[in-house]
């Protein structure tokens, strides 16, 4: 036993000095030992050492003196410099590595154990079957600190309880290559961020960036004419096309003091020098683990009640490549800024999280579970439950021991504003999320579960999103996130309306080549756009296929999905949509009960829309509540092999609202859809529209809106020139005013090879209204209705067709059992009409003229047409012409 021993420099009880090898500590007890410099109990400098079956309690590295190699206050129990070490079946309780306040930026590392290289290096050190509790580090590594250059270190079957780092890495600080932590448990560890690197309270505007474009050794005195106290100087040096270098300094009134330096591999997702400088200065990163360096494995570990003042409530990786978390569990972990569970700072590549659960993790700011800033991230077989991002509203940990930075002027970065991503925030490209489940996650900003920024080639496959919500109450978001907030400029002024998008997933501007495959979205909601998914402006070539969207809601646009302006070349394929709703609350516009899309060359195919609804609540802009299932604005839209059933819009387009030229629809069906105003199933506006093989049944316009409505087009309200409707069927369709099945406004409209049955318009009495066209109402010139059949159609004027325009051509028409007050089958108001090769049977003008046809215009031609069993109450049993020639 070694009890209450004191060393003036290193090794309070035992000191193996330089060159030691094959030393062993077996079944020993070290209690209340102190070293004025390093290694409160043991100092080792050599290779091939073992510490087995031993206990270390209340040992302290005081940090009063400086050791032989410049260390001060490192290793509360053990200071280890060397290679090939084994620590096995040992306990470390209440050891302390103290920071000397006269040396802010060094020392106080490794509350229990500190490891660094010697002449042999720093590799192959293993901790196995170890227990760490209540250890404190004045700076980094509450329990263990592997200093820069560590290689092949391992923790296996460790227990870490209530350890504290006053800067980074509440339990473990790793700075090296190829480390492993496995089969371990971490409870109630914390990184408090209270031991700054210097005394100045640095704010973001106190950071001075100095750019160096050559690879010469840095001499800051040559770069800065006059140093200023209270500032943080960060050197941003380019060493080559693939390698950069950062250094940070403060000026103490006489000299520059160097704080940190690091080499970074440059990539598209680069670390901001401001972020790096402030992170290093304040610390508070990695509530349990801080990981710096490439190639790491954290496997079969549990993280409970872990807290960080800033980044990474559970673990924080500083731009590390090839770090993997596998088979881990995070519960009640909280970060003071981003990444309640884990946080990879910018520059990370090939990070992986597999087979891991996050339960009730929180971020005081953004990314309640995972923050990943880098490329080629991989998240597979994970479950995230009740994760939340709070936008700065969380102030202190539940135990009161960690103050969260949240949203403050000392720390702002270019990669996130605040309150986004209830579960995961990703900035980067080539990302793969597979078999992930997100349940009841909440953000105060964007992305109830996931927020993606500055990304392309993100893929979600075989995932489930259920019960997630984007609140839209964040008060620290502005349009140009690459600049600091400045409320004097529009693009840097706080705008709460930029938040609340994407109840499950929110893609930020210019997302490209993203895929959502075999994903289920249930009961998600958003305050503004995209009840399940929101793609912000300029997002192109994105694909959603083989997926389900059920019971998602939004206050504004897109009950399930919102594609904002510029969403070109996007595809929705083989997707089921059921009971998605745009609620239109709190003054919202509410377009697209299921999908709202603004973009060109969009394809919707092989999908089914059921119970899509769009409403308007008190104060809403009800005249814009359009498209019960889908609202599309853009040219060259293609909709094919898709069904729309039981959808509703308070205003226009009960199922579908299309604005754009050269849009096409094929092989689709509409059943039981209803609109308050125009287009019971479809509202279509644009030239050269084309509809082929469309089947429509029981679609209506109700006339029941929040404002006055003149409900037209029981199934289709069409506005545009050169439109074509071909080989389609309309039945049980009705309108209040005009066009029981189709109401069309435009020239050169062509309706061909189609069938109409049991279509009708009410016989109302409102002044200046026609109530015409039981099946079709055409307002325009050069219209063609060819080879169509009509059964049991009726209206006030023109029981089958009402045409208002010149040069109408009706050819190959077959009608049966139709009636109106005037024109039992056709009412044509215009010159140069032609009716030919038709058969009109059992039609009735029940009050006035033209049992079959009423023509009001000159130069009408009626030929090769059969009239059978027709009737007029007054004049013209079959034909009544009011005109000459």
- The reply to whether 49 falls in a domain is yes
Query: Residue range 755-769: average pLDDT?
Result: 92
Condensed to tens digits (0 to 9), the pLDDT of residues 710-730 reads: 789 999 999 999 999 999 999
- The reply to whether 38 falls in a domain is yes
Q: Give the CA dihedral 422, 428, 429, 434, nearest 10 degrees.
A: -30
pLDDT score of 408? 47
- Mean pLDDT is lowest, of 56-60, 127-131, 300-304, 676-680, for 676-680
pLDDT score of 270? 60
Percent of the chain residues topping a pLDDT of 70:
94
Q: Please give the distance of CA 829 from its chain centroid, rounded to a whole number.
A: 54
- The reply to whether 685 falls in a domain is no
Domain match, 12 and 119 both = yes
pLDDT score of 493? 77
Q: Is 714 exposed, middle or buried (0-12, 13-18, 19+ CB in 10 A)?
A: buried
How far is it, in rounded angstroms, from Cα 631 to Cα 653?
8
Domain match, 92 and 37 both = yes
**Residues near 219 by Cβ (< 8 Å), separated by ≥ 6?**
none
Q: Of 661 and 263, which is predicted with more confidence?
A: 661
How far is it, in rounded angstroms, from Cα 191 to Cα 301?
18
Check: CB of residue 560 under 8 Å from CB of residue 585.
Answer: no
Domain match, 45 and 143 both = yes
Domain match, 5 and 153 both = yes
Neighbours of 372 (CB within 10 A): 27
Q: Which helix (DSSP H) or strand (DSSP E) does residue 525 occupy? A: strand 525-526
Condensed to tens digits (0 to 9), the pLDDT of residues 298-341 reads: 999 999 999 999 999 999 998 689 999 999 999 999 999 999 99
SS3 content of the chain, % helix, strand, coil (to 5): 5, 45, 50
pLDDT score of 883? 83
- Say if residue 410's pLDDT is above 80: no
> Measured between alpha carbons, how far is residue 478 from residues 125, 428, 529, 637 in Å?
48, 20, 17, 32
- Mean pLDDT is lowest, of 26-30, 199-203, 470-474, 822-826, for 199-203
pLDDT score of 411? 42
3-state secondary structure of 371: strand
Q: What band does 588 get if pLDDT is binned at 50, 70 and 90?
A: low
Residue 459: phi, psi to the nearest 5? -125, 130
pLDDT score of 587? 65
Query: Residue range 869-880: average pLDDT?
Result: 94
Beta strand 243-251 with 232-238: parallel, antiparallel or unpaired? antiparallel
**What is the residue whose two structure tokens read 């387009």?**
653
Check: CB of residue 261 under 8 Å from CB of residue 248.
Answer: yes
Check: CB of residue 639 under 8 Å from CB of residue 631.
Answer: no
pLDDT score of 612? 94
The residue count for the chain: 885
Domain match, 148 and 215 both = no
Which among 762, 718, 715, 759 is positioned nearest to 736, based on CA atoms?
762
- Say if residue 416's pLDDT is above 80: no
Domain match, 52 and 148 both = yes
Cα first-last separation, the chain: 124
- The reply to whether 720 falls in a domain is no
Condensed to tens digits (0 to 9), the pLDDT of residues 860-873 reads: 999 999 999 999 99
**Residues near 876 by Cβ (< 8 Å), separated by ≥ 6?**
845, 849, 850, 851, 853, 854
- Say if residue 287's pLDDT is above 80: yes
**What is the residue whose two structure tokens read 């100087």?**
233
Across the chain, what does the average pLDDT equal?
A: 92
Check: CB of residue 315 under 8 Å from CB of residue 298.
Answer: yes
- The reply to whether 407 falls in a domain is no
- Mean pLDDT is lowest, of 27-31, 100-104, 213-217, 635-639, for 100-104
- Say if residue 370's pLDDT is above 70: yes
The residues with which 373 forms a beta bridge, in sequence order, are 427
Residue 204: phi, psi to the nearest 5? -60, -40
> Measured between alpha carbons, how far is residue 747 from residues 393, 661, 738, 804 in Å?
59, 14, 18, 11
DSSP notation for 180-236: EEES-EEES-EE---S-SSS----GGGEEEEEE-S-SPP-HHHH-SS--TT-EEEEE
Q: Identify the domain boundary among 158, 173, 194.
A: 158
Give the sign of the dihedral formed by CA 411, CA 412, CA 418, CA 420: negative
3-state secondary structure of 273: helix
- The reply to whether 151 falls in a domain is yes
Condensed to tens digits (0 to 9), the pLDDT of residues 819-854 reads: 999 999 999 999 999 999 999 999 999 999 999 999
Give the sign of the dihedral formed by CA 850, CA 856, CA 858, CA 859: negative
Domain match, 138 and 5 both = yes
pLDDT score of 104? 58
Q: Identify the domain boundary among 124, 158, 192.
A: 158
The residues with which 290 forms a beta bridge, in sequence order, are 173, 316
pLDDT score of 728? 98
**Residues near 254 by Cβ (< 8 Å), separated by ≥ 6?**
none
- Say if residue 686's pLDDT is above 90: yes
Q: Is 97 exposed, middle or buried (0-12, 13-18, 19+ CB in 10 A)?
A: buried
DSSP state of 863: E
DSSP state of 272: P
Query: Residue range 331-354: average pLDDT?
Result: 92
pLDDT score of 619? 53
Query: Residue range 736-749: average pLDDT?
Result: 97
Condensed to tens digits (0 to 9), the pLDDT of residues 16-30 reads: 988 888 999 999 999
**What are the structure tokens assigned to 405, written together?**
């930075």
Q: Of 757 and 565, which is predicted with more confidence?
A: 757
pLDDT score of 14? 97
**What are the structure tokens assigned to 711, written together?**
């409900």
- Say if residue 359's pLDDT is above 90: yes
Q: Identify the domain boundary among 241, 275, 309.
A: 275
Condensed to tens digits (0 to 9), the pLDDT of residues 417-468 reads: 578 999 999 988 999 999 999 999 999 999 999 999 878 999 999 999 999 9
Query: Residue range 611-625: average pLDDT?
Result: 71
Tally of domains within the chain: 2
Q: What band does 268 get if pLDDT is binned at 50, 70 and 90?
A: very low
- The reply to whether 270 falls in a domain is yes
Domain match, 110 and 256 both = no
Domain match, 81 and 152 both = yes
Domain match, 110 and 259 both = no
pLDDT score of 120? 67
3-state secondary structure of 552: coil
- Say if residue 672's pLDDT is above 90: yes
- Residue 216: give the domain boundaries: 204-275
- Say if residue 125's pLDDT is above 50: yes
- The reply to whether 837 falls in a domain is no
How far is it, in rounded angstroms, from Cα 289 to Cα 308?
10
Domain match, 16 and 110 both = yes
How far is it, in rounded angstroms, from Cα 536 to Cα 526?
14
How far is it, in rounded angstroms, from Cα 215 to Cα 278?
24
Domain match, 5 and 87 both = yes
> Measured between alpha carbons, how far is residue 62 from residues 39, 114, 357 in Å?
9, 14, 39
pLDDT score of 336? 94
């Amino acid at each position: 036993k070694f009890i209450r021993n004191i060393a003036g420099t290193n090794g309070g009880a035992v000191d193996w000095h330089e060159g030691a090898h094959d030393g062993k500590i077996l079944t020993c007890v070290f209690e209340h030992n102190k070293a004025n410099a390093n290694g409160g109990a043991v100092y080792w400098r050599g290779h091939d050492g073992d510490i087995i079956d031993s206990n270390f309690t209340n040992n302290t590295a005081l940090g009063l003196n400086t050791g032989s190699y410049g260390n001060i206050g490192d290793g509360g129990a053990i200071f280890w410099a060397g290679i090939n070490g084994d620590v096995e079946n040992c306990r470390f309780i209440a050891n302390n590595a103290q920071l000397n306040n006269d040396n802010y930026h060094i020392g106080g590392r490794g509350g229990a154990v500190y490891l660094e290289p010697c002449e042999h290096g720093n590799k192959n050190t293993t901790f196995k079957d170890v227990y760490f509790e209540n250890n404190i580090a004045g700076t980094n590594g509450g329990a263990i600190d592997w200093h820069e250059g560590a290689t092949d270190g391992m923790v296996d079957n460790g227990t870490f309880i209530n350890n504290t780092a006053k800067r980074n890495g509440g339990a473990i600080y790793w700075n090296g290559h190829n480390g492993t932590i496995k089969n371990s448990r971490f409870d109630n560890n914390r990184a408090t961020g209270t031991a700054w690197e210097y005394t100045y309270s640095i704010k973001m505007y106190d950071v001075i960036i100095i750019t160096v474009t050559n690879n010469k050794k840095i001499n800051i005195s040559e770069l800065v004419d006059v140093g200023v106290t209270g500032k943080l100087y960060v050197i941003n040096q380019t060493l080559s096309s693939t390698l950069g270098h950062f250094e940070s300094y403060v000026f103490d009134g006489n000299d520059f003091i160097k704080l940190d330096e690091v080499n970074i591999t440059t990539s598209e997702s680069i670390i901001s020098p401001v972020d790096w400088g402030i992170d290093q200065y304040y610390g508070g990163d990695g509530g349990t683990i801080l990981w710096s360096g490439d190639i790491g494995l954290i496997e079969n570990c549990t993280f409970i009640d872990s807290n960080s003042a800033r980044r990474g409530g559970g673990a924080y990786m500083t731009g590390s490549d090839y770090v993997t978390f596998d088979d881990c569990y995070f519960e009640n972990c909280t970060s003071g800024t981003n990444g309640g569970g884990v946080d990879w700072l910018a520059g990370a590549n090939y990070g992986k999280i597999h087979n891991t659960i996050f339960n009730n993790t929180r971020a005081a700011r953004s990314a309640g579970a995972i923050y990943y800033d880098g490329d080629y991230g991989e998240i597979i077989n994970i479950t995230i439950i009740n994760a939340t991002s709070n936008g700065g509203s969380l102030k202190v940990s539940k135990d009161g021991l960690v103050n969260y930075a949240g949203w403050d002027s000392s720390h702002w970065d270019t990669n996130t504003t605040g309150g986004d991503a209830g579960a995961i925030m990703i900035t980067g490209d080539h990302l793969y999320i597979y078999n992930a489940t997100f349940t009841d996650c909440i953000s105060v900003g964007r992305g109830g579960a996931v927020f993606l920024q500055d990304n392309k080639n993100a893929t979600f496959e075989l995932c489930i999103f259920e019960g997630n919500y984007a609140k839209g109450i964040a008060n620290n978001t502005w349009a140009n996130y690459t600049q600091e907030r400045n409320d004097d400029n529009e693009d840097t002024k706080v705008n709460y309306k930029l938040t609340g998008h994407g109840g499950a997933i929110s893609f930020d501007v210019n997302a490209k080549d993203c895929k959502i495959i075999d994903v289920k979205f249930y009961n998600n909601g958003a305050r503004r756009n995209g009840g399940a998914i929101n793609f912000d402006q300029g997002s192109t070539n994105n694909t959603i296929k083989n997926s389900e969207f059920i019971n998602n809601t939004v206050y504004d646009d897109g009950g399930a999905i919102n594609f904002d302006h510029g969403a070109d070349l996007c595809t929705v394929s083989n997707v089921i949509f059921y009971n998605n709703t745009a609620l239109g609350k709190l003054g919202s516009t509410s377009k697209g009960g299921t999908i709202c899309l603004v973009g060109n060359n969009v394809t919707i195919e092989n999908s089914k829309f059921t119970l899509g609804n769009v409403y308007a609540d008190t104060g809403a802009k009800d005249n814009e509540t359009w498209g019960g299932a889908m609202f599309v604005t853009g040219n060259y839209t293609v909709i094919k092999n898709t069904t729309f059933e039981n959808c509703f819009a308070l205003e226009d387009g009960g199922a579908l609202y299309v604005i754009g030229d050269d849009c096409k629809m094929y092989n689709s069906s509409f059943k039981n859809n209803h609109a308050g105003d125009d287009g019971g199933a479809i509202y279509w506006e644009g030239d050269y529209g084309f509809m082929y093989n469309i089947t429509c049944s029981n679609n209506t316009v109700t006339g029941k809106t929040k404002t006055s409505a003149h409900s037209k087009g029981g199934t289709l309200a069409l506005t545009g020139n050169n439109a074509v409707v071909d080989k389609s069927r309309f039945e049980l369709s009705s309108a209040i005013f005009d066009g029981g099945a189709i109401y069309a406004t435009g020239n050169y409209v062509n309706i061909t090879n189609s069938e109409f049955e049991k279509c009708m318009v009410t016989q109302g009495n409102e002044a200046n209204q026609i109530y015409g066209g039981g099946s079709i109402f055409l307002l325009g010139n050069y219209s063609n209705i060819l080879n169509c059949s009509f059964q049991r159609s009726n209206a006030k004027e023109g029981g089958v067709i009402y045409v208002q325009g010149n040069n109408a051509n009706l050819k190959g028409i077959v009608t049966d059992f139709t009636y109106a007050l005037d024109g039992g089958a056709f009412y044509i108001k215009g010159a140069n009409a032609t009716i030919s090769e038709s058969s009109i049977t059992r039609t009735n003008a029940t009050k006035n003229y033209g049992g079959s046809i009423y023509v009001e215009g000159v130069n009408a031609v009626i030929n090769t047409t059969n009239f059978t069993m027709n009737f007029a109450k007054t004049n013209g049993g079959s034909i009544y012409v009011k005109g000459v020639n």
